[in-house]
Structures are given as structure tokens and as C-alpha cells.
């Protein structure tokens, strides 16, 4: 990265920014854990999107719950929670976003997250009971309500940033780019949400329409997304339920039994008491 930092800083601004975009839009493709591979083997595989190049899996029967993984993740990371809900009377659907997991594409973007959520919703062609998103998947899921017209009774955001600041932080830390280049990055990311950076900072993606139900789950030890984002989103959406866990971080929160019960209680009211 020190070499890339040197190259970017000596290149003309436009070319340097192109290099930054290339690096930022190439997320890692983690392998599949054994238990997650076994879970996918129990699922029905589906192909959707343009040219059927995106991959999804589904378990169970009942009201549909769509799970959206985060940046650099894959659908199988949501399998433990998805299986838990399938065993409790829901049809769980997970998928790999463009440029992630088994889906096609070498480059990723927030725009792809948003449009892929819309394409999967159209492919399923049934009423969606709930969307559950982790990290960037949650942010893009909420933005897709306006940008792709998706609808559900319930939304669950797990460790989701209020606006797309995590990649900015990573770019600044790893590449040490100038403030002027940071401004270009902010414009680039905000355009993918068809918004301004200032509007996104104010929580535009989480605008409350007074009809949907929202659950926010954050871990206080998360070093990637600030747990205080949950508090800020709740100010935008006062009726949202906010739950904070401890010592689960950004990823273990997806395999937590505590979180499984919290989500189940939200989707099936009366089973569990939600604590703010």
C-alpha cells in the first residue's frame, strides 16, 4: 500500500482518482466456512438478474425474508440467521451481490447493492415480509426503498452505517490521500445513492414513512461501524427499536443466539421483550 500511496500522489488528479476507485471497488472474496457451505447445500439455488448471473439461495416456506450481506461479504454469512428464521415459519432468501461470492462481476459498488436488491425483489415476484441487512447491505437496503421501490412490513439493520463513511475512512487511512481527493470520493459515493453527501450524512436513506417497522442492532465494541449510528438513525426514525449488544464486534453479531432471538421477537411480536 505504501507503493500505491506514492503512485496515487504523483499521478494527475483524475488518473489518481481512477486508481482509487479501482482499488476501492474490488472487495475481498472470503471463502465459505464449512458450516455455511453445509447450510447452502440444504437450500434451493436460484439465478436472477441480467443474464441470470447473480446467485441466491432459499430455505423454508412462509412469509419471505430477504437477507443482504455487507461489503466484502457473501450471502452465506447470513445463513445462520436465515436458517433460524426458516425453522420458525419463514422463507429465508440470501444472495451474493454483484462482485461478491459466487455472483458475477469483478468490481462492486453501492449502486450494484441497491439495484441487485431491486432485481431480486422483482425476481421473487411476491410480497416481501422483511428485509434484513448487515453493514453496507443494510444501508443500501434502506436506500432501495426509494431508489428501487422495494417494500416490506419490517426492516432490520445490523451494524449498518448511517451513511457511506466506512470506505472513506479506509481510503484515508490506507492511502493517505488529500482532502481534495476525499471530496471527490464523497461525491462519487453519494452519486451512487442519487443524493448529496450532506443529505446522506443527515440520514436520508433512513427516512421514516410512518408505515414500516424498523429494528436497529449494533454492538458497542464494533470498530468498523460506530454503535452511535443507531442512536442517530433512531432520531430520524423515532419509532425504530434500538438494541445494543456487547463484545460481538462487526461480524460475530451475525452468528449470535441473542441476535437471533431479538430478530425473531421483532418479526413475531410478543415472543420476546425488546430492550432499548
Supply 109's cell numbers.
459498488
pLDDT number for residue 11: 61
| Choice between 190 and 10, residue whose per-residue pLDDT is larger | 190
Whether the pLDDT of residue 275 is over 60: the answer is no
Q: What tens digit of pLDDT does each residue of 54-70 get?
A: 999 999 999 999 999 99
* 0.85 surpassed by pTM: yes
- The domain defined by 2-267 carries CATH number 2.60.40.10: no
Q: What tens digit of pLDDT does each residue of 119-134 get?
A: 999 999 999 999 999 9
**Mean pLDDT score of the chain, rounded to an integer?**
90
Strand ordering across the sheet containing 128-134: 44-48, 54-59, 91-95, 64-68, 128-134, 154-158, 213-219, 241-245
Q: For residues 136-154, give the mean pLDDT.
A: 97
Report how far residue 47's alpha carbon sits from residue 49's, in angstroms, rounded to the nearest whole number: 7
pLDDT number for residue 4: 61
Q: What tens digit of pLDDT does each residue of 152-198 get?
A: 999 999 999 999 999 999 888 877 778 888 999 999 999 999 999 99
Amino acid at each position: 500500500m505504501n507503493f500505491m500511496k506514492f503512485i496515487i500522489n504523483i499521478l494527475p488528479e483524475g488518473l489518481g482518482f481512477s486508481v482509487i476507485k479501482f482499488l476501492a471497488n474490488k472487495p475481498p472474496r472470503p471463502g465459505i466456512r464449512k458450516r455455511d457451505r453445509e447450510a447452502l447445500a440444504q437450500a434451493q439455488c436460484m439465478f436472477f438478474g441480467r443474464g441470470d448471473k447473480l446467485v441466491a439461495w432459499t430455505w423454508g416456506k412462509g412469509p419471505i425474508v430477504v437477507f443482504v450481506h455487507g461489503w466484502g461479504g457473501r450471502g452465506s454469512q447470513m445463513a445462520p440467521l436465515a436458517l433460524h428464521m426458516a425453522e420458525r415459519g419463514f422463507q429465508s432468501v440470501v444472495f451474493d451481490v454483484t462482485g461478491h461470492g459466487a455472483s458475477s462481476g469483478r468490481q462492486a459498488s453501492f449502486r450494484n447493492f441497491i439495484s441487485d436488491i431491486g432485481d431480486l425483489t422483482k425476481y421473487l415476484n411476491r410480497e416481501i415480509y422483511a428485509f434484513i441487512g448487515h453493514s453496507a447491505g443494510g444501508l443500501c437496503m434502506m436506500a432501495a426503498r426509494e431508489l428501487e421501490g422495494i417494500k416490506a412490513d419490517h426492516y432490520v439493520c445490523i451494524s449498518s452505517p448511517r451513511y457511506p463513511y466506512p470506505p472513506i475512512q479506509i481510503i484515508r487511512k490506507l492511502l493517505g490521500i488529500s482532502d481534495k481527493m476525499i471530496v471527490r470520493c464523497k461525491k462519487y459515493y453519494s452519486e451512487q445513492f442519487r443524493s448529496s453527501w450532506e443529505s446522506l450524512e443527515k440520514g436520508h436513506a433512513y427516512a421514516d414513512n410512518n408505515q414500516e417497522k424498523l429494528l436497529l442492532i449494533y454492538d458497542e465494541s464494533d470498530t468498523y461501524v460506530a454503535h452511535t449510528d443507531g442512536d442517530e438513525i433512531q432520531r430520524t426514525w423515532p419509532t425504530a427499536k434500538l438494541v445494543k449488544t456487547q463484545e460481538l464486534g462487526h461480524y460475530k453479531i451475525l452468528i449470535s443466539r441473542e441476535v437471533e432471538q431479538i430478530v425473531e421477537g421483532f418479526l413475531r411480536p410478543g415472543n420476546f421483550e425488546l430492550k432499548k
